[in-house]
Amino acid sequence: MNPADRFRSYIAAFNASDWVALYHFYAPDVRLVIGNGTELVGRQSIVEFYAAVKTQTRREIRIVQCFAQNDMLAAELESEFLAIKDAPDFVVRPMAKGDRYYINSFALYELQGDCYSRIRAAVLRREFRPFTG
Amino acid sequence: MRDCDAGSRTWFEAYLDAFNRGDIAQLADYHADALLVEGEVASLLTRKAVRGPSRTPHARMELVSFVGSAERLRIAAEIRATWVDGSEGPSPLDPAFAADDRSTTAFVFLDIAAGRVARIRSAPLIVAPSA
């Protein structure tokens, strides 16, 4: 599988909340920096972080574009969080049930074999979309 | 730099080099007429060609990482922008600008059409201090 196809499978696993599959996309000592600068180290930490986020929100990631060269893959992503319950401690900002938070981001993935060893994301655009009924 | 090199790492390095040397004519050659720009580092990169050197903040751009698409129509780059001592006015690189080392890092994505940069967008890379 080429890096772009593998990346599509990775995002599909994320969107399906398939944590077991997601775990195996990461190198054991993977480092992930999300858009707000928080760094997570190790695949178990990452999976637990995402699983916790998905207890508060429904999140769908859409790949706008992705391409790879040598041991790196670049991606532009669109992501929307929908709060499925009140989440005053949500990682991005406090959210009330029904609120949405949109993020357009750039990310670089460094590959170690077939696994992601370093992932960093930077936010191009973000938009809070409060629930309007 | 020839148009057939457009989208290559060498082509992009020459673009940054033109910026760092203040070579406005060469820099302008890289840009499509209807260039779309979004983001602080992207604005800084293109401003020199659009407004001229006297109104341009002085920064140096260093290529850290480069990913080019196979068809050479897209580039993703990690760029470190360093504010040069003696520059006038406040840094345009906030909020990611780090006062201590006067630099910021951004991911920059470019779309290339007909051998020119048609769209350039940047997003600041934020790394929170370790707990």
| pLDDT number for residue A81 | 94
Q: B130 in contact with A at a CB cutoff of 8 Å?
A: yes
What is the mean predicted confidence (pLDDT) over B33-46? 90
What's the whole-number mean pLDDT along residues B3-18?
92
So what's the ipTM on this one? 0.92
Q: CB–CB of B121 and A123 under 8 A?
A: no
Inter-residue contact A86 to A100 (CB < 8 Å): no
C-alpha A23/C-alpha A112 separation (Å) is: 14
Q: What is the mean pLDDT of residues A46-70?
A: 95
pLDDT band of residue B24 (cuts 50, 70, 90) is confident
Q: In which band, very low, low, confident or very high, does the pLDDT at A63 lie, cut at 50, 70 and 90? A: very high
| B128 in reach of chain A (CB within 8 A) | yes
pTM of this prediction? 0.90
Instruction: Report H helices in A1-132.
Output: 3-15, 19-23, 43-56
CB atoms within 10 A of CB B114: 8
How many percent of chain A have pLDDT more than 70? 100
Phi, psi of A44 (to 5 degrees): -65, -40
Q: Flag if A36 and B67 touch (Cβ within 8 Å).
A: no
Average pLDDT on B97-101 reads 52
Residue B57 pLDDT > 70:
no
Question: What is the pLDDT averaged over residues A88-97?
Answer: 91
Residue of B nearest to A73 (CA): B67
Average pLDDT on A77-93 reads: 93
A133 against A106, higher pLDDT: A106
Among B112, B37, B110, B35, residue whose Cα is nearest residue B73 = B112
Chain A residues lying within 8 Å of B126, measured CB to CB: 33, 35-37, 122
- Residue B115 above 50 pLDDT? yes
Q: In the β-sheet with B59-68, what is the strand arrangement from edge to edge?
A: B31-38, B116-124, B103-113, B74-83, B59-68
Round to whole Å and give the CA distance between B7 and A33: 27
User: Could you tell me if B123 and B39 are in contact, meaning their C-beta atoms sit under 8 angstroms apart?
Assistant: yes
**A8-26 per-position pLDDT tens digit:** 999 999 999 999 999 999 9
- Set of chain B residues whose Cβ sits within 8 Å of the Cβ of A35: 126
Checking if the pLDDT of B94 tops 90, the result is no
Res. B19: pLDDT tops 50: yes
Do B109 and B26 form a contact (C-beta atoms < 8 A)? Answer: no
Rounded to whole angstroms, the Cα distance separating A14 from B19 reads 40
